[in-house]
Amino acid sequence: CDGATGIKSVTMFRPPAYLGAECGVKRMLKLVVILSLAAIAAQGQDASRPIINTTGGQIQGVTSSCGLFCSYFAFNGIPYAQPPVGDLRFRNPRPHQGWQGIKDGSEHRETCPSGGFLGGVSGSEDCLYLNVYTQNVIGSRPVMVWIHGGSFTGGSGNSWIYGPDNLMPEDVVVVTINYRLGILGFFSTDDTHAAGNWGMKDCVMALQWVRNNIANFGGDANNVTIFGESAGGVAVHYLVLSNKASGLFHKAIAQSGTALVPWGFQYRPRELAYQLADKLGYSHDSAQLVQSLRNTPIERLLEVQGGWLDIDIPRGFKPFEFVPNAEPVNSPEETFLTQLPIDILNAGTFNHVPFIAGYMSMESMFMVYEHTIDNTVWDEFTRHPEYFVPHFWNIPHGTAASSAVSQTIRQTYWQDRPLGPDIMQQWMTFHTDQQFIYAIDKTVRLHAQRSQAPTYYYQFSFDGDLNLVKRLLLLGSWPGAMHADDIPYLWSVTDLTISPILPTNHARTVSNRFVRLFTNFARFGNPTPNAVDTLLQSRQWQPVGATVHYMEIGHDLVTGINPNGQRTSVWHDLEARYANDPFRFPRP
């Protein structure tokens, strides 16, 4: 390499063939860098603000820091679809028509409309934007597309919560997206006038944009992983189930949610459409109703959209109002989903891609506060023992089967003691299983049985200084990791004021492990591809097969079999003995 560096190389300890290969690689890398810098200079570009060509036009990024000696390019607010306003409200997304000149990608754009914390409206209907983060626009790296959570009614993909700092050092390209929420994203008349699933179709269009453009950002369009948490995890699983998304991604990670969770599938959209019409004084005729809703100010729509306190007891056991649904097969627009999730899973007609699913050890810890805001909960459950019976098991109330299921669940969790504060720990565990674990466990088993690709299963149980949700809600005295506690282990949450987490803090080690497992999976389809990896404690995460293997993500990584098996076996046994067409719902 003498001519390339101007310094004589010491060769006595290296074989000549090795030296020649290394010198060739060095020269090639240097040539790539020189040509890249020359191209930037020729275009008069600032190297810290690269300009990238997309199918819609040019976007100029900005350099951001991800720590000491770590930086990346951020391309924020890239439109991937036309604003779904006017006549495009309650219609499938249309590709963006492009723009003239160079679009500034230094700032995020509007988020999709949701109710503000203190009332009012946050966001704008012109919200279908995505963000791309990459350390190098040259090359071909694994792509990870994040779908945010928020009960399908709130949130965005912006870096205030989902900053990519933790992921960037693993040399992946990260994309975060916005999609329509609430009424605007999931209203349906259950007929040809408004089929629904607009938000899910937005996700598909965003993935189409990734396929067509990500190579210009240093990403590999043939190695795309979708991942998301809570409603985002449910959305990821719906994409796995939908043939409309086939070929747009190659791996999937569903955190704390799948299409089988009791709150994630709306099986009576027409009834909800009529309720919405009554609230607004509109006709029940679908064509008239949809046209009236297109002309209704967004503030009025969000005003009548229900919130958490508007959900009837038992909360979290039945579908949220505006979530994905099965569309009519005769819809005039292309459909996203026309079958029940359980039917797709049982038939094995989903996208067979490597799949990770898992949950937090105490997902429903937030239910502690339900009793603070509604002191009728204990009494209502006592008066209505059928509330303990999953509605998706289709067991008639007042039957011997209903009584047997209710009695078994109460006995299993708190030995059928009177409901009250004394059983709060057991109450949270029951809600965790009813709202999350049983459905996720069922999903994992069905995937392992039907899919030709590997399925991986995990439980996140670590409780440390990055469990920010738990600490912000002042729930630190309760054991376990709660819903959304995993977010700060993957993402840099800049919207929350926290004390700095030192590199020596074990929470940072757990974060690094969590990120490494997911980025390994994105790169190789296997979260532990190397037999020796000191960060991952040289653990091997086995896929689920006849044996339900899983990875416990706690203080240490621990492999095991059948997580929470004693509890989940109760649910699976009751389902087998008493359920009628479980996870199937009557269509009107």
Regarding beta strands 355-360 and 455-460, do their DSSP bridges make them parallel or antiparallel, or are they unpaired?
Answer: parallel
363 is catalytic: yes
261 closest CA partner among 232, 220, 298, 284 = 232
Burial 496-513 (b: 16+ CB within 10 A, else e): eeeeeeeeeeebbbbbbb
What value, to the nearest 5°, has the Cα angle with vertex 128 and ends 125 and 130?
145
What value, to the nearest 5°, has the Cα angle with vertex 131 and ends 127 and 133?
175
CA dist 190 to 91, 115, 132, 581, Å?
Answer: 14, 25, 35, 22
Q: Which of 170, 327, 363, 370 is catalytic?
A: 363
Cα–Cα distance for residue pair 210/130, rounded to 1 Å: 10
Long-range contacts of 319-322 (CB under 8 A, 24+ apart): 319/262, 319/263, 319/264, 319/265, 319/266, 319/267, 320/151, 320/152, 320/153, 320/263, 320/264, 320/266, 321/266, 321/272, 322/152, 322/153, 322/181, 322/182, 322/183, 322/185, 322/186, 322/187, 322/266, 322/272
* Sheet arrangement for strand 51-53: 51-53, 58-60, 102-104
Give how far the C-alpha of residue 210 lies from the chain's centroid of Cα atoms, to the nearest Å: 17
Cα–Cα distance for residue pair 154/305, rounded to 1 Å: 12
483 is catalytic: yes
Q: Give the DSSP per-residue string, 563-583.
A: TTHHHHHHHHHHHHHH-SSTT
Cα–Cα distance for residue pair 151/130, rounded to 1 Å: 20
Cα–Cα distance for residue pair 508/550, rounded to 1 Å: 22
Cα–Cα distance for residue pair 463/360, rounded to 1 Å: 10
Cα–Cα distance for residue pair 214/209, rounded to 1 Å: 8
Supply 91's token pair: 């219609």
Q: Which of 64, 114, 151, 230 is catalytic?
A: 230
Cα–Cα distance for residue pair 266/272, rounded to 1 Å: 9
Q: Are 176 and 130 in contact (CB under 8 A)?
A: yes
Cα–Cα distance for residue pair 57/52, rounded to 1 Å: 8
Cα–Cα distance for residue pair 327/474, rounded to 1 Å: 41
347 closest CA partner among 266, 269, 243 = 243
Q: Are 73 and 137 in contact (CB under 8 A)?
A: yes
Estimate the crossing angle of helix 565-578 against helix 400-414, to 10 degrees: 170
Q: Is 484 helix (H, G, I), strand (E, B) or coil?
A: coil
CB atoms under 10 Å from CB of 303, counted, come to 14
Residues forming the active site: 230, 363, 483
